[in-house]
Amino acid sequence: MSTEVNKTLEVLSNGGIILYPTDTIWGIGCDATNSDAVSRIFKLKNRDNSKAFISLVADKKQLKNITGYIPNLDITSNPTTIIYPSAVTLSKKLLASNGSAAIRIVQDDFCQELIKNFGKAIVSTSANISGSTSPKQFSEISKEIKKNVDYIVNLRHNELMATPSAILMIDKDGNNTKIR
């Protein structure tokens, strides 16, 4: 795993796009602070720029640095993405029109190690063209996606992965609403 972490770190550090396994699905990702890389993912997915992507962080400390807030909820035992009312340090392209951002503390060992070593959030969006079905395993990812990323992580290619995260939205007063 350390070889994959190091190869992926190099790609992320150079503004590249990765195809990688997460705690929920196969994702397309990049440095969440790099607007050019984020734009490349929008283009690759043929996705409307108004639909923001999720960002992954390694721990509560990284989350607090971005949102200024740690919710009083269990956000680490099950994959839970939370839409926070505001965020700093992320590319503006990852923010919704109201300034909110979707962020998850990732539980996958590879992702944890990668993000801790990278020191910044990374983008996570399903490895499909917008409007297409999300792939349940690596073999279902389209050739178009595979040929247009800069690096494909060589882990978990035979695993079935089809559990999306729960999604909650937190308002400025700390109230939450379940989205999914």
Domain-by-domain residue ranges, the chain?
Answer: 2-178
**pLDDT score of 173:** 86
d(CA 134, CA 83) in angstroms, rounded, equals 21
Residue 64, pLDDT above cutoff 80: yes
d(CA 62, CA 68) in angstroms, rounded, equals 10
pLDDT digits (tens, 9 = 90+) for 69-122: 899 888 888 899 999 999 999 999 999 999 999 999 999 999 999 999 999 999
Residue 39, pLDDT above cutoff 90: yes
Instruction: Assign a CATH topology to domain 2-178.
Output: DHBP synthase (3.90.870)
CA torsion sign, 15 to 19 to 22 to 26? positive
Residue 5, pLDDT above cutoff 90: yes
Average pLDDT over residues 51-71: 94
Note the pTM of the prediction, 2 decimals: 0.95
Residue 30: helix, strand or coil by DSSP?
Answer: coil
